[in-house]
Amino acid sequence: MTGHFAVLGATGAQGGAVVRALLDSGATVRGITRRTDSGAAQRLAAAGVEVVAADLADEASVAGAFTGVDGAYALTTPFEDGPEAEIAQGRTILDAAVAAQVPHLVFSSVADADQHTGIPHFDSKAAVEAALAQSGLSYTIVGPSYFYDNMLGGLDGLKAGVFELPLPADAPLQQLSRRDLGRFVAAVLNDPGPVRGARIDIASDEPTGRQMTAALSEVLGRPVELVTRDPALIASDDMRAMFTFLAAGGYTVEIAALHARYPQIGWQSFTDWLETDLRPLLS
């Protein structure tokens, strides 16, 4: 790949994965972040990324960061200021992309956001998707499922031999490696034509909680106990709605067909992720 691509949120987990995949493919990358003096931003610069500052509260700064690239990756978040703020972020991104005449925009949403789930952060992303479809931009929507990395929030429990998951033990949970997200976005930016205007939900694997616990025990070489609980007991309205959705069947990614269509991603199984990403943190 020889293109020049902008990545919004380049110092974050998702944006960082996209940056790494683009660099690995030979592209040049403009990493967009709020603070260019942060340690993460400086590490990107050392890796050859052009790091520029922009703020989603300032459309002109985002438009400037988007100017002159072959494509861009963007995402929004409700977890700082709520769903309405996420929709406002989306409007800023779209207006900036239109002003900068971005040739192709990849927007990171969430799997099944278009299925009227009633989950607050799904619905706010769906609102951004609807605005994107009306924007006149060339675009692809990528819908990540549950990230493997969410497990890292319970790292202390895992070190103590306990894995907590507010789902039935035998409910499959479609999940995604951030590495795979990065590779998929890089593939789309490299060749957007076949997926122009498409919405593609993605997942790497779909183990149950019981299977995840067995894999954890094997990889770590010590017993791990699965502790489940009723999603109805979760305090956050948003997370309660999401885990209730996941317990009732959850995401609807057609994983076998997806992997057959995009074999070049090298989809990372849950067990592979445990070996390469989690095990070093628990050793």
Give phi and psi for 50, each to the nearest 5: -80, 110
Sorting pLDDT into bands at 50, 70 and 90, what band is 81? Answer: confident
CB contact at 8 A, 70 and 97: no
Where along the chain do its domains lie?
Answer: 4-145+177-202+252-267
Cβ atoms 111, 143 nearer than 8 A:
yes
CA-CA distance, 82 to 72, in Å (whole number)? 24
pLDDT-derived band at 82 (thresholds 50, 70, 90) equals: confident
Q: What does the pLDDT look like over 224-245, one tens digit per residue?
A: 999 999 999 999 999 999 999 9
Average pLDDT over residues 49-68: 96
Q: What is the mean pLDDT of residues 43-49?
A: 97
CA separation for the pair 130, 9 (Å, rounded): 22
What pTM did the predictor assign?
Answer: 0.96
In 151-248, alpha helices (H): 155-159, 178-190, 209-220, 237-247
**Neighbour-count burial of 110, counting CB atoms closer than 10 A to its CB (0-12 exposed, 13-18 middle, 19+ buried):** buried
Residue 2 has pLDDT above 70, yes or no: yes
pLDDT of residue 79: 75
Percent of the chain exceeding pLDDT 70 equals 100
| pLDDT computed for residue 1 by the predictor | 52
Rounded to an integer, the average pLDDT of 140-160 is 95
54 to each of 10, 66, 107, 118, 260, how far by Cα in Å? 11, 10, 17, 31, 38
Contact assessment for residue 222 and residue 167, using Cβ atoms and an 8 Å cutoff: no
CATH of 4-145+177-202+252-267, one of 3.40.50.1000, 3.40.50.720, 1.20.1070.10, 1.10.275.10: 3.40.50.720
Does 283 have pLDDT greater than 80? no
Phi, psi dihedrals of residue 206, rounded to the nearest 5°: -145, 60
